A and B are shown apart, each in its own frame.
Chain A
């Protein structure tokens, strides 16, 4: 079964940077779109970014465009999220998720990691 394990979260000052990682196993990583989804404390889910199988297409929610970069290393079965110019409102648990496309119109997230907490102090 697919497994996703995030790491790299922590406490960072406003304006700082952090790089999240997600280690994938149990499936052919290079065959799937991958995503990051976040959840602020006590709040709902918010999609953050998607990346295509070969890394050639990337999409971001408007609030992180120009500050966050999603990337992947298929040889290492790993997904990354480079977060720069962090703000207090970026404080959240960040989940790595596998995205399924083609079977439905728009796609969905079928496997999720346990999440890693990012806290941005002002």
Chain B
């Protein structure tokens, strides 16, 4: 059981907007540690999607955006495309466990 909680699955139709939540606590997100998001397409390695809560690496479309508030963070994907179908993971640091933690992952299905 991860200290960062994500919904196991979300879905949306092409063109729609979906959000994926990442809920932590006072020893990780609530302690001010930044949240980062990764996209893992089927059968491939994870890829950095959002870093520092809101920043997109070069090459990541602006359809992807991140936010953080209190002990939670969210990833929003607008204009859903079939190629967005993947697993998404949030990540932060936990000072109670002294480790770099990932959420359990959310499987996005594009209907």
Contact = CB atoms under 8 A, between A and B. Distances in A.
Interface in A30-64: 35, 37, 44-47, 50, 59, 61-62
Contact of A106 (B33, B45, B104, B105): B33
A113 B46 CA distance: 9
B38 A106 contact: no
Nearest to B91: A108
A104 B99 contact: no
B102 A107 contact: no
Contacts of A47: 99-102
Nearest to A45: B102
A13 interface: no
B48 interface: yes
A44 B105 contact: yes
Contacts, number: 70
Interface residues of A, number: 25
B104 A44 contact: yes
A95 B46 contact: yes
Interface of A: 35, 37, 44-47, 50, 59, 61-62, 95, 100, 103-115
8 interchain residue pairs of minimum CB distance: A106-B93, A108-B36, A104-B34, A106-B33, A104-B52, A47-B100, A45-B102, A44-B105
22 contacts: A37-B46, A44-B2, A44-B102, A45-B91, A47-B99, A59-B98, A59-B99, A61-B99, A62-B99, A95-B45, A100-B51, A103-B51, A103-B52, A104-B52, A105-B32, A105-B34, A106-B93, A106-B100, A108-B36, A109-B91, A112-B45, A115-B45
